Structure 1
Amino acid sequence: MPQNVTLYQNYPNPFNPATTIRYDLSTAASVELTVFDLLGRQVRTLVHEQQPAGSYRVTFDASGLPGGVYIYRLKTDRATFQKKMILLR
């Protein structure tokens, strides 16, 4: 069965200090949701677990991080998706 994953743009964007990241899984999957800076350094792991099919919301609290553009990446068993978000300071 094909695995359909939808990763949505975070909201609000730009944000300070927190934003919500939403995604949908059509089937159960091993999920890793991570945040990187523009130099490719991982700054936070938000999710790293097996999840059943469903809709998910994860809050990213960027307190303590410098303002700028960040990449959030959703990786499953079969696919990887990423989007940009802007932290204002």
Structure 2
Amino acid sequence: VVTLSVYNMLGQKIKTLVSEQKNAGTYSVQWNGDNEFGQKVSSGAYIYKITAGNFVKAMKLILMK
């Protein structure tokens, strides 16, 4: 299962963008800046985390409106 989630700088999960089985390959995902409830979040720094099996990677992103 591949999971891609966005977190605020306090480590609170904002939204899960992907959580499904994926074959190897290249994929793209767009986040429109909303949370799990459909509310727009503030501009600022966020962390996105990708997990796939034993692979885990987290990177910072900047949301600018």
Match in the other structure for 2:24: 53
Deviation at 1:76, TM superposition (A): 1.1
SS of residue paired to 1:59: coil
Please report the TM-score for the alignment, with normalisation by the length of structure 1. 0.64
Aligned residues: 60
Unpaired runs of at least 5, structure 1: 1-29
Unpaired runs of at least 5, structure 2: 35-39
Q: Which amino acid aligns with 2:60?
A: K
Relative to total residues, which structure has the larger strand share, 1 or 2? 1
Please report the TM-score for the alignment, with normalisation by the length of structure 2. 0.86
Root-mean-square deviation (Å): 1.0
Match status 1:71 vs 2:47 = yes
Larger radius of gyration: 1
